[in-house]
Every structure is written in C-alpha cells, then in structure tokens.
Structure 1
C-alpha cells in the first residue's frame, strides 16, 4: 500500500524525506500540505495513530506559528482547540507527515523512517 506523504516542496526536510523514499523505491502519494491540507478529521486520525503528543504536529519554526503567537497559547489549549487551529492552515503543520493508514510519522528522522517505512521494502 502506498504511503500518503503530506509535504511542502519548498521545505528542505520534506525534500530529504521524499528523496529517502524514492531512493528505496517505497511507493508514496505526494500531497501538497498547503494546497491540500488534511481535514480536521484526518488530522485527528493522524494524531491518534501517531502516538505523539498533539503539540508535535505544530511547525514551531514556521512564520505563521510565530505570527499567531501560538507558542504560549498551545500550552493551555485543549486537544479540540489545537486540532481546530491546525486544520486552519497547512503551514502550521510540521512536515512531512507520512501515513499508510496505520502508522504515522511527523517530520523526518532517518532512523524513524527506516524503522517505520524501510521494513516495508
């Protein structure tokens, strides 16, 4: 089954992850995270499958994150509020997000990719 790969082409980390998948001939379906961001429902599913804290889904180094002053707000937001905010703009999401419908990775760490996606080769 192909991986759904939410990425932003101008993002260096996204490009590294894409190259990693391509070099290993791992099939994936690229989805431009800004033009076609995951819906709120999809985000909730991704979050629940990831095993990560919801805060890990925020692109904390992004301009939009800083503009909205989310650094302090996220600390007191409920899960519902965080999901609502994340669903408003693909630029708020840490990228890339990869999923096969069961497993989810957020960001790119070669070891995590090897352990998650490399075993499917």
Structure 2
C-alpha cells in the first residue's frame, strides 16, 4: 500500500501523484490539510524518513517564522506539536510505502521507496 500526504493545490504534489500513477500505482490519498495526520502518525513518518522532525517542517508556511521554528536545535517535540497544531507546516508531498517514506522534493526522490 502506498500513501501520499497530498495537497491538490501544490504543483509538486500533483506531479508526484502523476508519477505514482504513471508507475502503475494508485495510492491512498490523504489530503492532510483536510484530514491531518495525528502526532503519532507524523512521528512515525519522521522515523521512516530518518530525519529530525524539523526536517519535515515547511519553511515557506507562514506559521514557520511566526512560531520561531528556524532554530537548528529545535526539539522534535516542539516541531511535532507545531505540525499537529498547523498541518500547513508539514512539507509536501510525503509518500509512504512498505519500503519507507520520502518527501517528494525533488519529485524523483519518491522512486527510492517504490
């Protein structure tokens, strides 16, 4: 099962979805702004990505600067709490498979887990 945390308004997210379909996959689509993942789900994906939680933060989202999330020593708990409070802070798209998870930036990065 392949899952994509998707924002249909994002061209990169749409390109990743197109790539998945072109590769013969019909993923489970989670529009994470409408149906935000839980803190536990975000933490699990961060673990699959093998990055600190701050690595999943979308720096271009307005709450990023407003909440002072740019500190390189930002604790994972604070980053996770921020993403739960403001799902727009979750970098997009994220593809999750049985082989792991990847942020689709660049788009081709998701091929690593297909």
> TM-score under structure 1 normalisation?
0.82
Structure 2 residue matching 1:14: 3-state secondary structure: helix
Alignment partner, residue 40 of structure 2: 41
**1:74-121 Cα deviation digits (max 9, x unpaired):** 43431111111111122110001111255111233244222221xxxx
Alignment partner, residue 22 of structure 2: 23
2:88 matched to 1:91?
yes
Q: Is the 8 A contact 1:37 1:89 kept in 2?
A: no
CA-based RMSD? 1.7
Q: Following superposition, which runs of at least 4 residues in structure 1 exceed 4 angstroms of deviation?
A: none
Unaligned runs of 5+ in 1: none
Q: Distance in 1 between matches of 2:110 and 2:94?
A: 11
2:33 matched to 1:11?
no
Give aligned pairs, total.
114
Match of 1:108 among 105, 110, 114: 105
> TM-score under structure 2 normalisation?
0.87
**1:17-60 Cα deviation digits (max 9, x unpaired):** 01111111113001101011110010111111111232220111
Q: Is the 8 A contact 1:14 1:95 kept in 2?
A: yes
Q: Distance in 2 between matches of 1:63 and 1:8?
A: 16
